[in-house]
């Protein structure tokens, strides 16, 4: 941080000498780059449209093989839960039950979320090491375990865009404040737990 | 052994700020720890001398030279304060500790500022060690000119510094329907407060030139999770800061060194750490971090999304869970209040389980979207009691009870945004316990 410190001092001196009434002169210190320069970092997918999904494809069988090599230690056989994380299978239909089960199949409103997340984060021990084809294959495998694509499926950008996820319409935007309380000072109802004994 | 916790607390002079019950030894220590008031001073388990008019001896520290000044050093807290630590939760145990969290001992924080070494943590793939000379931030997408900034570039802009709290959307989530946490560190420790210094992101977005159709902005980290969130453009253009410093020093690695986003009043999760990329769009991304996680379950199987504001909340930190009152007498009740929608206007305290409330004193400074301390003097007569605080913010929003929240939202499972009134029970023998259920 030696270099940062020097710049800070220099910047201070600059502000002191150049500042005018109403604020410092605004400097432009960014370096222009092109979208091509940023390509390796540009990994986000606009998941409702699938915009940003790359070329490539993968099958359920390929995904199962990669999963057995790189994921099973933490996620367990058939992604049913392992040493580091719970199950990634099932839960569809559980949203209206007392215990909701959250998995990529039950929870994600758009299929591309799985691609975006695995490409940026998994395997946890070596993130951003998977090829796009591998990420498609793993998407195929995990969605087939969740019954959302057939066992013989090949998954690509087009397939992901076409999957209608069960929780597609499960979301509402923030509408808080939703709880309106009054500031009672005397003879107020006593504090009660949510579940009364 | 004396742990004076707050300079203005009158007469509290023993190890009152007990933390977690982590071992049998610790429990014994806690039992022996006591809260004393000037009026009801009795012998402490730790006082060597009897409480009655003992002659004061000149202490050893008066009779010798202290430690000399080292040529250079980073100062550390007193060895007698080594029990003050941030801790991983052991209420909701994660199976691994890379995507995990640690909690601030807010009951041991006397002022509004959380020391950097105690600031709570939440990472999704552990803490990276990033060399600032190699770090770069890119702004691209719907802008006239995509730009890259080195840390040195960013340090050249006019900076702002503001005191603001930061709270995890998951703070208190173990304690909706059941009393799971023992201490306030476990129930409310995903909360900290700092003075944040950095560049308003609007300065940089203006330099890049926003497309008039720009509506949402992606913030992405350079850590192993490449954690990312979509943020509305309005938040970016009003008060979002790209912070490189907190509390007068560069960010700690676990808090995003060398650069992070900071959005006053919003959940910590959007304040992306190790920030390396900002992308502008006309729509949100709906990533896992804003659909499958960090959303709130609602009735009828629904989920509330993009609920980033942390609504008004407060909690009593002393006395709080795991502490012990040492007999009837006068006690100083104190705690924190805060609101992501403005400043704290008032805090009320009840000692009879919510039937009667008394307006507490606010301790200055009272700042916008910042931790605010409150105090209330209580005469404990010795019977069972239930104490709680309730905050009101500058929008006149009144902190709700959990029962009122449960009328609007679904509260079983992994539920975020708990800002309910949080009661502690005091038993006849002075034991303080979580009384949310």
Q: Which of B79, B264, B106, B254 is nearest to B191 (CA)?
A: B106
- List the single residue in B146, B151, B203 with the smallest CB-CB distance to A35: B146
- Integer Rg of chain B from CA: 23
Report yes or no on B51 lying in a domain.
no
Q: Are residues B126 and B266 in the same domain?
A: yes
Residue position matching structure tokens 């802009």: B157
Q: Is B341 exposed, middle or buried (0-12, 13-18, 19+ CB in 10 A)?
A: middle
The predicted model gives B58-69 an average pLDDT of: 97
Residue position matching structure tokens 């000037």: B38
B37 pLDDT more than 50: no
Q: How many residues appear in chain B?
A: 437
> What 3-state DSSP class applies to B296?
strand
Return the minimum-mean-pLDDT range out of A27-36, A71-80, B23-32.
Answer: B23-32
Tell whether omega for the bond before A177 is within 30 degrees of 0, i.e. cis: yes
Q: Sheet containing B296-297: which strands, arranged edge to edge?
A: A171-173, B303-305, B296-297
- Encoding tokens for residue B6? 């707050």
Q: In angstroms, how far is CA B76 from the centroid of its own chain?
A: 21
Query: What share of chain B in percent tops pLDDT 90?
Result: 86
B92 pLDDT more than 50: yes
Q: Are residues B280 and B428 in the same domain?
A: no
Determine the pLDDT at residue B44: 34
Residues 134-173 of A with CB under 8 A from B: 167, 170-173
Q: Are residues B286 and B320 in the same domain?
A: no
Determine the pLDDT at residue B9: 32
Mutate to test the interface with A, among B177, B291, B351 (most CBs of A within 10 A): B291
Q: Does B355 sit within 8 Å of A190, measured CB to CB?
A: yes
The answer to whether B349 and A191 have CB atoms below 8 angstroms apart is no
Mutate to test the interface with A, among B94, B160, B292, B425 (most CBs of A within 10 A): B292
Q: Quick: pLDDT tens for B348-357.
A: 999 999 999 9
Q: Does B152 sit within 8 Å of A4, measured CB to CB?
A: yes
Q: Are residues B140 and B277 in the same domain?
A: yes
Determine the pLDDT at residue B89: 85
Rounded CA separation B202/B179 (Å): 43
The predicted model gives A131-151 an average pLDDT of: 98
Q: Quick: pLDDT tens for A79-136.
A: 999 999 999 999 999 999 999 999 999 999 999 999 999 999 999 999 999 999 999 9
- List the single residue in A178, A182, A192 with the smallest CB-CB distance to B398: A182
Q: Which among B251, B278, B304 is the end of a domain?
A: B304
Q: What is the CATH number of the domain that holds B340?
A: 2.60.40.650
Q: Are residues B364 and B218 in the same domain?
A: no
Which domain does B159 fall in, by range? Answer: 111-176+191-304
Rounded CA separation B236/B216 (Å): 9
Rounded CA separation B354/B386 (Å): 8
Report yes or no on B149 lying in a domain.
yes
> What 3-state DSSP class applies to A38?
helix
pTM: 0.90
Report yes or no on B118 lying in a domain.
yes
| Domain count across chain B | 2
The predicted model gives A23-29 an average pLDDT of: 71
Say which residue, B33 or B59, is predicted with more confidence.
Answer: B59
Say which residue, B40 or A26, is predicted with more confidence.
Answer: A26
Q: Are residues B133 and B226 in the same domain?
A: yes
- Integer Rg of chain A from CA: 25
Q: In angstroms, how far is CA B2 from the centroid of its own chain?
A: 25
Q: In angstroms, how far is CA A163 from the centroid of its own chain?
A: 18
Sort strands B87-88 and B344-350 into parallel, antiparallel or unpaired: unpaired
Confidence class of residue B251 from pLDDT cuts 50, 70 and 90? very high
Tell whether omega for the bond before B193 is within 30 degrees of 0, i.e. cis: no
How many other C-beta atoms lie within 10 A of the C-beta of residue B5? Answer: 19
Q: Sheet containing B344-350: which strands, arranged edge to edge?
A: B358-359, B344-350, B385-393, B424-426, B432-434
The average confidence (pLDDT) of chain B is 90
Q: Quick: pLDDT tens for B124-146.
A: 999 999 999 999 999 999 999 99
Handedness of CA B380, B386, B389, B390 (dihedral sign): negative
Confidence class of residue A25 from pLDDT cuts 50, 70 and 90? low
Name, in order, each residue with C-beta under 8 angstroms of B385's C-beta and a sequence gap of 6 or more: B351, B352, B353, B425, B426
Is domain A57-162 in CATH 1.10.760.10, yes or no? yes
Determine the pLDDT at residue B53: 72
The predicted model gives B16-40 an average pLDDT of: 36
Say which residue, A196 or A75, is predicted with more confidence.
Answer: A75
Confidence class of residue A197 from pLDDT cuts 50, 70 and 90? confident
Q: What is the CATH number of the domain that holds B139?
A: 3.90.420.10
Confidence class of residue A40 from pLDDT cuts 50, 70 and 90? very high
Q: Does B311 sit within 8 Å of A189, measured CB to CB?
A: no
Neighbouring-strand partners of residue A172: B304
């Amino acid at each position: 941080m030696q270099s940062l410190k020097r710049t800070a001092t220099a910047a201070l001196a600059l502000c002191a000498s150049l500042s005018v009434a109403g604020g410092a002169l605004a400097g432009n210190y960014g370096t222009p780059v092109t979208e091509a320069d940023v390509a390796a970092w540009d990994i986000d997918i606009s998941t409702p449209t699938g915009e940003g999904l790359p070329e490539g494809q993968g099958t359920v069988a390929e995904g199962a093989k990669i999963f057995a090599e790189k994921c099973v230690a933490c996620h367990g056989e058939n992604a049913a839960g392992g040493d580091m994380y719970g199950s990634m299978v099932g839960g569809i239909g559980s949203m209206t039950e007392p215990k909701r089960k959250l998995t990529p199949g039950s929870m994600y409103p758009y299929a591309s979320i799985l691609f975006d997340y695995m490409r940026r984060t998994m395997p946890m021990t070596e993130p951003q090491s998977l090829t796009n084809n591998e990420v498609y294959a793993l998407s195929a495998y995990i969605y087939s375990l969740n019954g959302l694509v057939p066992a013989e499926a090949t998954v690509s950008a087009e397939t992901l865009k076409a999957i209608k996820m069960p929780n597609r319409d499960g979301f509402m935007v923030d509408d808080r404040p939703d709880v309106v309380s009054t500031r009672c000072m005397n003879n107020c109802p006593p504090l009660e737990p949510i579940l009364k004994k | 052994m004396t742990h004076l916790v707050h300079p203005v607390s009158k007469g509290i002079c023993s190890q009152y700020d007990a933390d977690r019950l982590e071992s049998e030894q610790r429990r014994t220590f806690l039992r022996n720890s006591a809260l004393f008031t000037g009026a009801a001073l009795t012998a402490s388990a730790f006082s060597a001398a009897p409480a009655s008019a003992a002659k004061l001896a000149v202490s050893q520290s008066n009779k010798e030279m202290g430690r000399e000044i080292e040529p250079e050093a980073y100062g550390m807290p007193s060895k007698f304060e080594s029990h003050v630590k941030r801790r991983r939760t052991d209420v909701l145990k994660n199976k691994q500790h890379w995507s995990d969290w640690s909690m601030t001992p807010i009951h041991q924080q006397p002022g509004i500022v959380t020391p950097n070494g105690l600031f709570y943590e939440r990472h999704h793939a552990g803490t990276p060690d990033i060399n600032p000379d190699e770090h770069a931030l890119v702004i691209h997408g719907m802008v006239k000119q995509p730009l890259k900034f080195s840390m040195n570039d960013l340090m050249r802009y006019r900076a702002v510094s503001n005191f603001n709290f930061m709270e995890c959307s998951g703070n208190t989530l173990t304690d909706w329907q059941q009393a799971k946490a023992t201490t306030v560190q476990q129930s409310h420790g995903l909360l900290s407060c700092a003075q944040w210094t950095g560049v308003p992101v609007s300065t940089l977005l203006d330099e890049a030139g926003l497309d008039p159709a720009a509506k949402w902005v992606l913030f992405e980290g350079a850590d192993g999770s490449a954690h990312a969130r979509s943020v509305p453009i309005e938040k970016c253009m009003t008060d979002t800061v790209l912070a490189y410093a907190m509390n007068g020093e560069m960010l700690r690695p676990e808090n995003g060194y060398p650069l992070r986003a900071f959005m006053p009043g919003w959940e910590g999760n959007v304040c992306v750490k190790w920030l390396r990329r900002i992308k502008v769009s006309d729509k949100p991304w709906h990533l896992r971090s804003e659909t499958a996680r960090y959303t709130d379950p609602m009735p009828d199987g629904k989920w509330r999304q993009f609920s980033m504001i942390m609504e008004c909340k407060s909690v009593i930190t002393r006395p709080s869970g795991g502490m012990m009152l040492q007999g009837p007498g006068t006690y100083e009740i104190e705690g924190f209040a805060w609101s992501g929608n403005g400043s704290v206007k008032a805090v009320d305290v009840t000692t009879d389980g919510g039937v009667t409330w008394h307006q507490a004193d606010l301790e200055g400074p009272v700042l916008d979207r910042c931790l605010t301390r409150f105090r209330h003097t209580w005469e404990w007569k010795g019977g069972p009691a239930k104490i709680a605080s309730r905050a009101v913010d500058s929008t006149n929003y009144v902190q709700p009870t959990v029962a009122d929240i449960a009328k609007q939202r679904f509260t079983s499972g992994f539920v975020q945004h708990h800002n309910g009134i949080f009661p502690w029970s005091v038993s006849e023998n002075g034991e303080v316990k979580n009384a949310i259920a």
